[in-house]
Structure 1
Amino acid sequence: MGQEYEQGSVTTYGETAEIIAKLGILPLAALIPGHPSLNGLTKPENWHTGTDLDPWSWRAQFPGEGLAGYGKFIKKKAILVSREWFPAFVAAVDSTKSIEERYKDGLASKEAVTLLQIVREHEGIDTRKLRAEADMKAKEKKTAFDNAVTELQGSLDMVISGIKQRLNDEGEVNGWSSTSFETVSHWMSDNGLSAFEGDREEAIAWIQTKMNGVWSPTAIAWTNKAFSWN
């Protein structure tokens, strides 16, 4: 890629927002060969500082402000997808069958069905409450819970919509923050995004057209293979 995508070339949230808008898809860490990542663009010393320059905090800010959809969308890795690309991305990746139909066909786990039904009823629910509602708070159920959450993101049923602070009874921050989840349809509606007008093939063609001239040939080829878009 060009000079602008070298390590440490990005410092602010605004600069990153411009790059996401230009590229359409930006992984948090190195994933797509020949393609930038948030980790690779930013300065290591700014991560996990809790300041305005902390890229780790931006991952919740982008979906919270409706600038990008966020979740483990590719090979169980966290990705930011720009609001312009997101409807086409959903149409190109999402199944046409409901999760209940996929479960009957053996294409979805029982845990994923349970979690998605809860998220539908409690949009924006955080990890702790979701585990409690699903009766999966026990330590031995954590792996199944984590796998189902990742499954729902990979199938574009659910996105990470933000990060919620844990508060005590006095309303003070107490303990680690917790990831919150929404269904894809709710997040899109909430942020003024309409469903892509076209079928899966048209959505793929739309994305591929956007990639041409902006993405490296290596990155395009890898992504096409990862999603079977060839």
Structure 2
Amino acid sequence: MKEVLKQYGILPLAPLIPGHPAVNALTKAENWHTDTELDPWGWRVRFPGEGLAGYGKFIKKKAVLVSREWLPEFAAAAGSPRSLEERYNDGLCSPEALKLLQIIRADQGIETRQLRTEADMRAKELKAVFDRAVTELQGTLDIVISGVKERHNAEGEKNGWNSTSYETLEHWLGENGIAAYSGSREKAVEGLRSRMDGVWTPEAIAWITKTMSW
């Protein structure tokens, strides 16, 4: 799967891009959620942890792995060169997204439960608001999912489901020795198209070009 990811650059977990592979279409269903070396669900944590790929809901609110080689250009092409504060002042992001990003910047790798607590979004009726804001930040490439942390009780015993953790894209790139892309959005799009040529199907290229407004 590492070789497939390196070849295609962008790999959804589930079928998303027409004429393009997805992790669950290339793996055996019986290996999923087994907590073994062959469990593809675990790779969404392992690959970012090993610096091989960024992971998050980057395209149409769907989970996608983007290889370290492609990620800087992808972020420049799909994200914004302006800070979230600037976009917020222009009405281009929600106040909840801004609040969460400021917390994540101050505590890189913060897990979901703690993030909701610090943002005063622990109430059940605010879960949907929280989820929308976190998805919004991933869609604009401001944050990535950096891993999954085990929950423990006061005695240190595992307690409940594992919790997703987040960090800024800038922090993830820096931690993995990857330089941010310095060119324009147009140049980044050109670079991605060059990478796709001869590797992606024409159908897949046409779909992502339209979907991402490239």
Q: Same fold (TM over 0.5)?
A: yes
How many residues matched?
A: 214
Q: Deviations over 1:34-68 (max 9, x none)?
A: 00000111111111111111111111111011100
Alignment of 1:6-21 (within 5 A): 16-21=1-6
Query: Is residue 153 from structure 1 mapped to residue 141 from structure 2 by the alignment?
Result: no
- How much has 1:170 moved relative to structure 2? 2.9
Amino acid at match of 1:154: G
Q: 2:127 aligns with which of 142, 146, 150?
A: 142
What stretches of structure 2 of length at least 5 have no aligned partner? none
Q: Distance in 2 between matches of 1:57 and 1:171?
A: 23
Structure 1 length as normaliser, TM-score?
0.92
Query: Is residue 120 from structure 1 mapped to residue 86 from structure 2 by the alignment?
Result: no
Q: Distance in 1 between matches of 2:65 and 2:56?
A: 7
Q: 1:131 aligns with which of 78, 94, 116?
A: 116
Q: Deviations over 1:117-159 (max 9, x none)?
A: 0000000000000000000000000000000000000000000
What stretches of structure 1 of length at least 5 have no aligned partner? 1-15
Q: Distance in 2 between matches of 1:91 and 1:102?
A: 16
Equivalent position of 1:25 in the other structure: 10
Q: Distance in 2 between matches of 1:107 and 1:96?
A: 13
Equivalent position of 1:90 in the other structure: 75
Equivalent position of 2:179 in the other structure: 194
Structure 2 length as normaliser, TM-score?
0.98
**3-state SS of the aligned residue for 1:176?**
coil
Would you identify which runs of 4 or more consecutive aligned residues in structure 1 move more than 3 Å? none
Alignment of 1:46-125 (within 5 A): 46-125=31-110
Q: Distance in 2 between matches of 1:159 and 1:185?
A: 9
Query: Is residue 163 from structure 1 mapped to residue 148 from structure 2 by the alignment?
Result: yes
Equivalent position of 1:11 in the other structure: none
Amino acid at match of 1:72: K
**3-state SS of the aligned residue for 1:153?**
helix
- How much has 1:22 moved relative to structure 2? 0.6
Equivalent position of 1:181 in the other structure: 166
Q: Distance in 2 between matches of 1:96 and 1:186?
A: 16
Question: What is the identity percentage for the equivalent residue pairs of Structure 1 and Structure 2?
Answer: 64
Amino acid at match of 1:135: D
- Alpha carbon RMSD of aligned pairs, Å? 0.7
